[in-house]
Amino acid sequence: MTPRLGLVAAPLFELHEKPGHPERPERLREVRAELDRSRLLASFTPVAPRPATRAELLLAHAAAHIDSVAERTSGPPCLLDEDTYSNAHTWPVALQAAGGAADLATAVLRGELDRGLALVRPPGHHATPRATMGFCVFNNVAVAARAAQAAAIAGAPPGTPPPRIAIVDFDVHHGNGTQDIFASDPSVLFVSLHQYPLWPGTGWFTEAGTGPGTGTTLNVPLPPGAGDTALRAAFARLVLPTLRRFRPALLLVSAGWDAHWRDPLAQLQYTLAGQAWLCRELVRAADELCSGRIVMALEGGYDTEVLAHGVANAARALAGLDDIADPLGAGVAGETDASALLDHVEAFVDGGAGAGA
């Protein structure tokens, strides 16, 4: 059966801009051009973005953070923090990014769509409950997860538990904001595959959640140069077993392509083929665990050619297509052996820190 695919994408997401900044509108322009060239857009049903409501933002962010962003983006262009800029369009664009992701996740959880792809910016996974950070204004995936849960239990008897949602983040940088938002929430599993050490300096494997959420955070901090070999081993040994224990009703993916060997901001040395493999495996995991319900939302990726091919490969995976595009092949740096690190993480998880309580 052909999956029903939803796509959040609109020219308005290109209006957030600061000349010379790596998080730039060309990222989406190149992606859309490649999706069009590859004739993949026809597989998706457009889902029009709409602004997230204040109530939705409050599911993931403090009121003071929302008010601060609204106030500071109403003036002339400025830096919201040392890395995150704003212009006259940032406030409405950031609201639409969060609202579009929320609608897509809700539609997939409800069964109105089978799978989804949210091509939104600014990205979100570094935005904490109380602050912008790392190019991110609002945490799109976190707002989407909480909004989908709220919609699922609307009208249900008091005390009805929200459906379990898993978030897998394969951006090269640790999704510290998403981790902070869900650290104590046992209904949301957060899994991050990232380079370590690297900015923002968080994401060591002993960070496993707090209070009732202990065990529902899995960090896989891979060393520079880990490459596709470590990616495949980490997924097989850690990520997939953790997803199986947790058994989510919906799988959300923070999808960043800055772990590719040619990206200028990191050194994890993945290939497009390796990242495409991961996308296909995540779709297979969703098919196995949650009736295929999966939504991928764009995070990082700053080499626009890599990003365009990477997102197209993700779209193929969502559409159930087996072909991939990797015109760049492997880098020349070789791979770092990460097996000892994976042994430590696996021992830690097997020692009682695994998700699925």
Catalytic residues: 126
**What are the DSSP E strand ranges found in 122-170?**
165-169
Dist CA 269 CA 40 (whole Å): 27
Chain center to CA of 30: 19
Dist CA 214 CA 224 (whole Å): 28
Chain center to CA of 134: 14
Residue 253, beta-bridge partner list: 168, 296
Query: What size, in residues, is the chain?
Result: 357
- What is the end-to-end Cα distance of the chain in Å, rounded? 34
CB 80 within 8 A of CB 137: yes
For the chain, give percent helix, strand, coil, nearest 5: 40, 15, 45
Dist CA 327 CA 203 (whole Å): 32
The SS3 of residue 343 is helix
Type and span of the H or E element at 86:
strand 85-86
Q: What is the DSSP string of 164-201?
A: PEEEEE-SSS--HHHHHHHTT-TTEEEEEEEESS-TT-
Residue 22 CB neighbours (<10 A) = 16
